[in-house]
Amino acid sequence: MPIINRVADLADEIIAWRRDFHENPELLFDVHRTAGIVAEKLKAFGCDEVVTGIGKTGVVGVIRGKANGSGKVIGLRADMDALPIEEATDVAYKSKVPGKMHACGHDGHTSMLLGAAKYLAETRNFDGTAIMIFQPAEEGGGGGAEMVKDGLMERFGIQEVYGMHNMPGIPVGQFAIRPGPIAAAADRFTLTIEGKGGHAAQPHLSIDPILVASHVITALQSVVARSVDPLESAVVSVCTVKAGEAFNVIPHHATLLGTVRSLTPEVRDLSEERVRTIIENICAAFGAKATLEYHRGYPVTVNDAKKTEFMAQIARNIVGDAAVDTSVAPMMGAEDFSYMLEQRPGAYIFLGNGDTASCHHPAYDFNDSATPYGVTLWAKIIETGMPTR
């Protein structure tokens, strides 16, 4: 089962769509142009139903197979949004929008799923219903959660769901997947430390929030080093420190922003508890007041074992056993496809993007040569998962 011939024929057209999306990036839920083009194309392909406005600006296309006796319904998901980054490439299709670019390959994801939709609408060589899910706001907006809240699974009768993301560093023509956790939960916190401002020459009359912040930052590293089982995974990072404006003034406040990441609910709960306890007690020990805002973000992305093996086998059939890694290490980045996997069994796979800049880098670009592999995988998930009799 190599690249589907019809998919190979469509490759140039799909790449042209991708480059248009790349030139015109949109952020979060404000993907009106992208979503409009997606809906227009799905209708032109002859999808049986095209629904817009799911999860604010999401689009769903419904394609029914030649037969529908199985009653089976499979969802395929792609994300549409870009990032607030100034592009640093010199490609001819460079972003036309200052301060915005497709630095994570969602232009490629959207185009590959459109390509699969065109192929499946033409051939319909399956017994069941394929649901094409185009999601906004993966990059921090929780668009996956919004689509779920809007009844995505129930409205379209989705029984299982699959996602795919390009991965720089994995050669083109290869895939990587694993059962269980494949992407981390990502929580964030804002800590405001209220001390007592004063003159730098009289620290004994002040409560120095910078000193308190320094102790907090150091102690937070003990969460992973001394509280989390060394065989588990967690990350605690303080990424922003704001305090003071003058060389001779002890400020009244200091603000810390950070992130906490984990791969299991148990470690997630433990990490939050330890972060809260450390902050409260260190600030109290110095006589400072702590105000902590702790926000739970995307949950852990967990692949169903059976659906992972099914997806991996489709990939093996396309590129061969040696080109599919089924024990890739989970990433500590987060992915809001997790909300869909909380609702239905499914799996999330990495598609090789080759030796390119990393995702979220200003020099990143989706590798167009990966397109036929992604489109073929999507098509074969539908045809193999819902075979005609």
Q: Has this prediction a pTM greater than 0.75?
A: yes
Averaged pLDDT, 284-305? 98
φ and ψ of 245, to 5 deg: -140, -5
**Residue 138 is a catalytic residue:** yes
* Beta-carbon contacts of residue 281 (< 8 Å; ≥ 6 apart): none
> Is residue 68 very low, low, confident or very high in pLDDT (cuts 50, 70, 90)?
confident
- Using the structure block, give the residue that is written with the tokens 């209220």: 194
Q: How does pLDDT run across 4-21, given as a tens digit for each residue?
A: 999 999 999 999 999 999
Chain position carrying tokens 């949004």? 81
> What average pLDDT does the segment 252-277 reach?
98
Distance spanning both ends of the chain, measured CA to CA: 19
Q: What's the number of CA atoms in the CB half-sphere (13 Å) around residue 96?
A: 8
338's tokens: 């997790």
Are the C-beta atoms of residues 162 and 77 closer than 8 Å to each other?
yes
Q: What percent of the chain is predicted at pLDDT more than 70?
A: 100
CA 263 to chain centre: 15
| Count, residues in the chain | 389
101, two tokens: 């670019």
Residue range 307-313: mean pLDDT, rounded: 98
Q: How confident is the model at residue 259 (pLDDT cuts 50, 70, 90)?
A: very high
Indicate the DSSP class of residue 344.
S
Catalytic one among 81, 146, 187, 208? 81
From CA 134, how far away is CA 246, in angstroms rounded? 49
**The pLDDT value given to residue 1:** 61
201-249 pLDDT, tens digit each: 999 999 999 999 999 999 999 999 999 999 999 999 999 999 999 999 9
| CA-to-CA dists, residue 129 to 57, 117, 149, angstroms | 22, 12, 22
User: pLDDT tens digits, residue range 126-178?
Assistant: 999 999 999 999 999 999 999 999 999 999 999 999 999 999 999 999 999 99
Task: Please compute the mean of the pLDDT values over residues 253-281 and round it to a whole number.
Answer: 98
CA 339, chain centre distance (Å): 11
Distances (CA, A) of 41 to 8, 60, 125, 300, 384: 19, 12, 20, 33, 25
Q: Smallest Cα–Cα separation from 288: which of 345, 236, 216, 349?
A: 216
Model confidence at 346, pLDDT cuts 50, 70, 90, reads very high
pLDDT of 318 > 70? The answer is: yes
Dist CA 147 CA 340 (whole Å): 9
CA dist 95 → 48, 129, 259, 310 (Å)? 33, 36, 30, 37
pLDDT at 389: 80
Q: Give the pLDDT score at 112.
A: 98
pLDDT at 67: 87
Q: What is the DSSP string of 149-217?
A: HTTHHHHHT--EEEEEEEETTSPTT-EE--SEEEE-EEEEEEEEEE-B-EETT-GGGSB-HHHHHHHHH
Per DSSP, the three-state class of 106 is helix
Q: Which residues pair with 62 in a beta bridge?
A: 49, 131
Q: Which of 87, 127, 138, 304 is flagged as catalytic?
A: 138
* Interatomic CA distance for residues 62 and 168, integer angstroms: 31
